[in-house]
Amino acid sequence: MNASIRPSPIAGTWYEADPKRLAAKIDSYLADAQLPDLSGDVVAVIAPHAGHIYSGGVAAHAFAALRGLAPDLVVVLSPFHAFAPYPLMTTAHAAYFTPLGNIAVDTSALAELEARLDIPITPVANDREHSLEIELPFLQRVLKNEFKLLPLMIRAQEPQVAREIGEALAETLKDKNALLVASTDLSHFYDSQTASILDHEMLRRFESFDPESIFDAESSRKGFACGHAAVAAMLVAAKKLGASKTQTLKYATSGDVTRDYSSVVGYGAAVVTR
């Protein structure tokens, strides 16, 4: 594979490697997603990032909210699950590969963002982060135009970092035809009853449109989201771009797929509108 293209470390395990089967699977998830009436313009979505078999049905609710949109640029904010000595990372490659084709990175938008940040954005090659990539095939199926990608992986999950990223993103995107995607799962490995309590509290924090309250839930152990900084940064940016409402579209857990309710992972999908 061309060294300028990030190879997928998860196609064939976390989601289908065959392009036709992948497209059909995602299309079926999208077709099954029943959405309420959405008022206002969609600015951003929040989607889970487990393997498609576990969270694809939930993620589809977020991406179904993007039907009919044709952004030139999509910013995907995710956590970075492995150890890294960098607070904020992006890909060192010029494009991401998925079985549905390559998605070019918008290097000019990335440079604009970096110029507005005091936090360095470190480019990494051949990263194995699943939480950003897992969203890309959904974007490729639901958005019919050719868009570019601004990928950001957040390791420093701190309020000040999220605020600075969000403010810089808002400035970078204010004159662009862009969408934001925040990638996060919810609680991990509680029984389903406990998970539901924790997860609905965290979803309530997302809906409050108060990024600080997300960090408060995490630190007080009232709710958990591995991508809480990604969601917080997105909300800061979305608010500055005129958004005022977060609406939860779907909640489920891995237990709804595995039928093992003793230890589950929570998944939520939401849309942010102005």
In a domain, 208, yes or no: yes
This prediction's pTM: 0.97
CB burial of residue 125 (10 Å; 0-12, 13-18, 19+) = exposed
In a domain, 16, yes or no: yes
CATH code for position 237? 3.40.830.10
What letter would DSSP give residue 252? Answer: E
Q: How far apart are CA 265 and CA 164, in angstroms?
A: 29
Q: How far apart are CA 137 and CA 15, in angstroms?
A: 9
Supply the range of the domain harboring residue 89.
Answer: 6-273
Please answer whether residues 266 and 117 qualify as being in contact, where contact means their C-beta atoms are separated by less than 8 angstroms. Answer: no
Torsion, Cα of 140, 143, 145, 151 (10° steps): -60
In a domain, 123, yes or no: yes
Please answer whether residues 218 and 187 qualify as being in contact, where contact means their C-beta atoms are separated by less than 8 angstroms. Answer: no
Q: Tens digit of pLDDT per residue, the chain (274 long)? A: 467 999 999 999 999 999 999 999 999 999 999 999 998 999 999 999 999 999 999 999 999 999 999 999 999 999 999 999 999 999 999 999 999 999 999 999 999 999 999 999 999 999 999 999 999 999 999 998 999 999 999 999 999 999 999 999 999 999 999 999 999 999 999 999 999 999 999 999 999 999 999 999 999 999 999 999 999 999 999 999 999 999 999 999 999 999 999 999 999 999 999 9
Domain tally, the chain: 1
What letter would DSSP give residue 73? Answer: E
In a domain, 235, yes or no: yes
First-to-last alpha carbon distance for the chain, in angstroms, is 41
C-alpha distances out from residue 246 to 17, 171, 203, 210, Å: 33, 21, 9, 10
In a domain, 1, yes or no: no
